[in-house]
Structure 1
Amino acid sequence: MANTIIVKLLGGRISFNVLLNKINLLWNLQCQIQLMDLENNLYLVHFQDESDYNKVVWIRLPGLPKIYYSNCLLRVIGQTIGPVVKLDVQMDCACRG
């Protein structure tokens, strides 16, 4: 489980094989992954290679005060860690629909 993440599919549903192909294309991995369909659009992704895992893992900053929830500041924090692909500033429970 050390090299495993949970992926939530947002938006519409796609087939298992389409998702697996998309992941392989987007992440450009060195080794194969194991993809397991859970439920509620959740998938378990197990990486065989730790460098692939480190390449795609997301960083969550729980407990970050709301005053830091600005695109600019979060991007600066993210760039110190590594390249920023996407910012989700709606992760605070109070901000969700």
Structure 2
Amino acid sequence: MERICKPWCFSIIIKLLGKKMSHKYLKRKLALLWKPPKEITLIDLGYDYFIVKYLKEENMIKALQNGLWFVNGFFLSIKKWHPNFVAYEVDETISAIWIRLPELPTKYYDHKILAKIGTKIGRLVKTDV
């Protein structure tokens, strides 16, 4: 099991929420978004899920941690690959969301204040003033 899982250990599972895209188009958009050092390996898992296979851990970490990602305005759900993932059995119960506060007075554009607001909504991932 370890031998067959090892090549996938730096992979991520993605799903574009609210929009279907062809494999070729999504691959091109991800390359523009993440600017990887080598061509992205993108595999269609069915049910609008894809796996992005990386050879290096730092590329996987960049995709997982460097922001909320959007493709053509649609949120890209990302999670670390795990060996028993089956697309048709997925029951998403948690999703990252981006909250905008367009009429918030500018004096409250402070990381501590925004973090306090964010933690009232749920688990805070990131603030962006």
Task: Give the alignment's TM-score, normalised by structure 1.
Answer: 0.59
CA contact (8 A) 1:32 1:47 kept: no
**Partner SS, residue 22 of structure 1:** helix
> Would you say 1:21 and 2:28 are equivalent positions?
yes
Cross-structure match for 1:51: 58
Where does 1:1-97 land on structure 2 (aligned, <5 Å)? 1-58=8-65, 68-70=119-121, 74-75=124-125, 78=126
Paired amino acid for 2:11: T
| Identity within the alignment, % | 30
Tell me the CA shift for residue 19 of structure 1: 0.3
**Partner SS, residue 124 of structure 2:** helix
Structure 1 unaligned residues grouped into runs of 5+? 63-67, 85-97
Segments of 4+ in structure 1 off by > 2 A? 68-71
In the aligned structure 2, how far is the partner of 1:53 from the partner of 1:6? 10
Paired amino acid for 2:12: I
Show CA shifts across 1:48-87 (max 9, x none): 2222111111587x8xxxxx4527x715xx36xxxx7xxx
Q: How well do the aligned residues superpose, as a CA RMSD in angstroms?
A: 2.9
Task: Give the alignment's TM-score, normalised by structure 2.
Answer: 0.46
**Partner SS, residue 19 of structure 1:** helix
In the aligned structure 1, how far is the partner of 2:10 from the partner of 2:120? 29
Structure 2 unaligned residues grouped into runs of 5+? 1-7, 66-77, 80-93, 95-118
In the aligned structure 2, how far is the partner of 1:69 from the partner of 1:46? 35
How many residues in Structure 1 have an aligned counterpart in Structure 2?
72
CA contact (8 A) 1:31 1:49 kept: no
Tell me the CA shift for residue 14 of structure 1: 1.3
In the aligned structure 2, how far is the partner of 1:31 from the partner of 1:49? 10
